Amino acid sequence: MKFNSVVLLSLTSPCLGKIAAAKPQMGWNSWNTFKANINESIIKPTAETLVSSGLAKAGYEYLILDEGWQALTRDGNGRQQANATKFPSGIPALADYVHKLGLKIGIYSDAGIYDCDFFPGSWGNEELDADTYASWDIDYLKYDNCGGFQAGTQSPGERFSIMGNALKNTGRDILYSLCQWGNQFPWFWADQLSDSYRMSGDITSSFAKDNSGVCKTAYCLNTGYAGVSVLTMIRKMRELSGFQSPGSWADMDMLEIGTGTMTEYEEQTHFSFWAALKSPLIIGADITKISNTSLGILLNKEIIAINQDDAGVAVTYLPALSSEGSIQIWAGPLSAGSFGHVVLALNEGGNATSITIPWSGIPELQNSTRASYKVRDVWAAKDLGTIQTGITLLNVSSHQTKVLIVSRA
């Protein structure tokens, strides 16, 4: 017996080590607002605002430079270099500035010879580039897929694992965020080699309207540049939510909260689903100009706690309680205390409606002998008391999502 337990311990101990992204990562990324037009005079005030707004304290710790930090050519030693007009102090000084604010810094590269705007990608230079980032004290790499199809005959798993290994070999803790657009179904291969992987083409700042060429499920392929709406991104997760697990997060792309196209209820819905589906929460808005309403949504502690819950289990779509095009019900377990479930009720339709959720329709509750549960309405910040059999939510507005925490009475 003793012997067995010793063997067991030694077999399992490597798994007890630190997982780089045990919780979905949180931060800010420059792309949704600035595209490749970034520079020091944007990034520094953003870093300061992450702290002064309370966002850093709420968990948004990574400040990520997307495409556009690089010069168009490598330097005399073949290293990637920053554009010195846009970043006159250089990236190491910027990293130092960001670290002194208590934040971490992320950078962007690409698994092709060139990235999406013909800045030098890392293909063929993975070790050199990983060493460069480590020497600059970088904490996070977003790694894109442009030009990847010209990179010869390597499978995406091979192309993306070269950089993963190069980052590990630097000895620095650098979070590896794959951006491979879901094209080759990374939920089947990226878990061993990255901390998160994008499950779709790019999001667009729209609640319901997709760009042309966007398809609705996880397994169909978009044509052209994606431009996926919030509702379609949520739709694609019906097939993927079961893949979510600590250290390997399906990434629903940067948040469009505060980018000016959505109502308050739509932004709440956006945040509720990204949180409960355990997506990384990366802000895409200009936080130096964001409205109080949008900032309040991003700062909602209880929604963030659902995202950062220890169990790391995403909510699942419940077709039997839902009605295509009008009502969506999703639910999943939380680790909080000994018992707790999160339930999302989205009114996708155009008019306010009531939504009924019987406890027996929630998988983990269906065989319970318990008749009543304690319910909290998270966005209303209100305890609704102990409720028997199920709940009817009255007057759920168009595009609103009610987030309920259902727990033992």
Ligand X SMILES: *[C@@H]1O[C@H](CO)[C@@H](O)[C@H](O)[C@H]1NC(C)=O
Task: Give least dist CB 323 to ligand X, A.
Answer: 13
Q: Which residues contact 132 (CB under 8 A, 6 or more apart)?
A: 79, 80
Give the integer Cα–Cα distance in Å for 78 and 82: 13
Task: Give least dist CB 66 to ligand X, A.
Answer: 13
DSSP state of 368: -
Number of residues that bind ligand X (CB under 6 A): 20
Buried b (16+ CB within 10 A) or exposed e, 35-70: ebebbbebbbebbbbbeebebbebbbbbbbbbbbbb
Q: Is 39 in the site for ligand X (CB under 6 A)?
A: yes
Binding ligand X by CB under 6 A: which of 169, 366, 368, 389? 366
Binding ligand X by CB under 6 A: which of 8, 89, 395, 409? 395
Cβ neighbours, 10 Å, residue 318: 18
Q: Is 311 in the site for ligand X (CB under 6 A)?
A: no
Give the integer Cα–Cα distance in Å for 394 and 382: 15
Residues 84 and 40 sit within 8 Å (Cβ to Cβ): no
Q: Is 361 in the site for ligand X (CB under 6 A)?
A: no
Task: Give least dist CB 55 to ligand X, A.
Answer: 14
Q: Which residues contact 212 (CB under 8 A, 6 or more apart)?
A: 224
- 144 classed as catalytic: yes
Task: Give least dist CB 296 to ligand X, A.
Answer: 9
Give the integer Cα–Cα distance in Å for 308 and 26: 10
Binding ligand X by CB under 6 A: which of 364, 377, 390, 408? 364
Give the integer Cα–Cα distance in Å for 246 and 177: 14
Site for ligand X in 81-110 (CB under 6 A): 83, 85-86
Q: Is 351 in the site for ligand X (CB under 6 A)?
A: yes
Q: Is 150 in the site for ligand X (CB under 6 A)?
A: no
Binding ligand X by CB under 6 A: which of 6, 352, 380, 381? 352
Of 102-110, 173-181, 227-235, 346-354, the window that binds ligand X (rule: CB under 6 A) is: 346-354
Indicate the residue whose CB is closest to ligand X: 350
Of 5-13, 47-55, 185-193, 362-370, the window that binds ligand X (rule: CB under 6 A) is: 362-370
Torsion on CA atoms 236, 241, 242, 243, rounded to nearest 10: 80
Please identify which of the residues 115, 195, 202, 253 carries the catalytic annotation. Answer: 202
- 202 classed as catalytic: yes
Please identify which of the residues 115, 139, 144, 195 carries the catalytic annotation. Answer: 144
Among 306, 233, 241, smallest CA distance to 270 is for 233
Q: Which residues bind ligand X (CB under 6 A)?
A: 37, 39, 41-42, 71-72, 83, 85-86, 292, 349-352, 363-364, 366-367, 395, 397
Catalytic residues: 144, 202
